[in-house]
Amino acid sequence: MAPVPSVRLLILGKQGAGKGTQCARLARHYAVPHISTGEMFRAAEKSGSEFGQELARYMRVGDLIPDELVVAFVVERLQRDDAQRGFILDGFPRTANQADALAKMLDPLEIDIAIDLQVPTEVVLQRLASRRVCRECGFNYGVGVPPKVDWTCDLCGGEVVERGDDTAAAIERRLKLYEKETEPLVVWYLTRDKLVVVDGVGDPDVVTARLIGAVDRRLRRTPGEGTQK
């Protein structure tokens, strides 16, 4: 197999756009870690620590966790060995402050590509209504991809549950915050010539193929630093 280029990607998209599912696949394809802030915070919550409980209070109602806390987590995570040849950031940055902090963390390197995975609100609302997640490994199940055995994870045998923050009120709050805080980052990355827009509607495999096609095209167009052939 030809060596895959190293890539530093991030993905923007509404709740339910399919970021978690698609990032897991892109991470495998490009052999880089999938760094999901939501997963990191849910793991901290599960650990039962006082700190985890504090994070959970924000998540349960669909609020954003304060920037300083989120940034501290990501700084620590990006310093680990496995992130040195690239990564896929899922759920970060979500605010202009976080985008600034990320640019500073990476300096003198940069993100190669910011993907905007676009899905209309009506579609994400339908998907979120049927979203289930494995409590142990975080794998996402939905309308198109239920577990083979009810409520049991195909991958690890863990219990498949509804997410505590997928209540109507918390979903509404998260989508509002997305529009207000995160959507402006699309323009932020566009003006820095990092943006790639991908249609997130359709069969998950089709969307994966679209994503890989769009990323590869862009990597060929700007074979800048860190994108070794």
- Residues within the interface to ligand ADP (CB under 6 A): 15, 37-38, 41, 58-59, 62-65, 70, 91-92, 94, 98, 165, 174
Q: Is position 221 annotated as part of the catalytic site?
A: no
Q: How far apart are CA 69 and CA 55, in angstroms?
A: 9
Q: Of these, 24, 27, 74, 134, which contacts Zn ion (CB under 5 A)?
A: 134
Q: Is position 131 annotated as part of the catalytic site?
A: yes
Q: How far is the CB of 11 from ligand ADP (least distance, A)?
A: 10
Q: How far is the CB of 22 from Zn ion (least distance, A)?
A: 17
> Side chain identity at 181, as an amino acid letter?
E
The one catalytic residue in 19, 127, 194, 218 is 19
Q: Is position 194 annotated as part of the catalytic site?
A: no
Residue 175 near residue 127, CB atoms below 8 Å = no
Q: How far apart are CA 94 and CA 178, in angstroms?
A: 8
The one catalytic residue in 60, 163, 173, 210 is 163
DSSP conformation class of 91: S
Write the CA distances from 206 to 22, 23, 63, 115, 201, integer angstroms. Answer: 11, 14, 32, 16, 9
Q: Which CB atom, from 75 or from 137, has the smaller least distance to Zn ion? A: 137
Residue 148 near residue 229, CB atoms below 8 Å = no
Sequence-ordered list of residues with C-beta below 8 angstroms from that of 70, at least 6 positions apart, any chain: 37, 64, 92, 94, 98
Q: Of these, 5, 93, 142, 158, which contacts Zn ion (CB under 5 A)?
A: 158
Q: How far is the CB of 42 from ligand ADP (least distance, A)?
A: 7
Q: Which residues bind Zn ion (CB under 5 A)?
A: 134, 136-137, 139, 153, 155-156, 158
Instruction: Supply the residues annotated as catalytic.
Output: 19, 94, 131, 163, 174
